[in-house]
Structure 1
Amino acid sequence: MKQTIQIVSERNRIFRQQVQIEGFEDLYVDVPKAYGGEGSAPDPHDFFDLSLGACKAITAQMYAQRKKWPLEGISVTVNRDDSEEQKGIYRLEVVMTFHGIEDAEQRARLEEISHKCPIHRLMTSATVEVTTRSADVVEA
């Protein structure tokens, strides 16, 4: 499935970006004030990290639903350590709480299943190819 996401600078010379994805409104990306942004929206790293946490939660929920386990909800905390990012090491710790699941084996299985979410696999085992090119400016 192909999807197009458009990113448009919202304000001249300010880093805040408006994200345009079909069917969604009011999505923005910004840079923290420490880097010259307004800090008015999550930064690109936040979206990277949250995509992992959300995908793991959704994958575990889907599995529990198929198994008819009494999962009432999931809380996920993603802890980022980017202190060595410039050396090529970016660490994410994901802590998951499975509400309504008392059985330790079921909790362990849900954690194991979360490792199979598409974003976890993409981040840890896929080859991602990025092509960047400039486009001509079209005046309206």
Structure 2
Amino acid sequence: MANNVIKVTKAAAGKYQHTVEVGPHKLIADAPSAFGGDDAGFVPHDLLAAALGACTAVTLNMYAGRKEMPLEKVDVDVTAGEQDGAYVFNRTIKYYGDLSAEQKESLNKIADKCPVHKALSGEIKIVTESN
């Protein structure tokens, strides 16, 4: 596992806006206007849902390539929200290509093995350091 440093710093603008940096890549996180933010960027839950969708798609493409499956592309939609007191992610996967039912079943099993899915489904260890 890569040990990337994800830096989150207060942005110059907005009450809740923060800049998220990973190496040369940057994005803005913010709170929605309903919660006092400017709705100028991703809300944290959306970032988590995006991580699940992106990780799923990349994992499936890598697996299909290794297995020489005729997967042309894969689309992953993730909806997220509260349900029965828990935060729930619903993931929908659409495969393109001349795939058999067995290949699609195999891909569906692999989707649950993407690292973000595994982290969301299991125990996560978070170590907090402060100064």
Q: Compute the TM-score of the two structures, normalised by the length of structure 1.
A: 0.84
Name the structure 2 match of 1:2. Answer: 3
Give a deviation string over 1:9-41, Cα, whole Å, max 9, x none: 11366111111221214x111111111111111
Which of the pair has more CA radius of gyration?
Answer: 1
SS of equivalent to 1:82: strand
Give a deviation string over 1:85-132, Cα, whole Å, max 9, x none: xx4x21111000011143111111111101011111111123322415
Please, which runs of 5 or more residues in structure 1 have no aligned partner?
Answer: 136-140
Please, which runs of 5 or more residues in structure 2 have no aligned partner?
Answer: none
Amino acid aligned to 1:119: V
8 Å contact kept, 1:101–1:107: no
Task: Find out whether 1:23 has 2:24 as its counterpart.
Answer: yes
Provide the identity percentage. 31
Amino acid aligned to 1:44: P
TM superposition shift of 1:81: 2.5
Amino acid aligned to 1:3: N
Matched pairs, number: 130
Going by fraction, where is strand more abundant, 1 or 2? 2
Picking from 115, 128, 131, the partner of 2:128 is: 131
TM superposition shift of 1:67: 1.0
Aligned-CA RMSD value: 1.7
Structure 1 consecutive aligned stretches of length 4 or more whose deviation exceeds 4 Å:
none
CA distance in 2, matches of 1:46, 1:7: 16
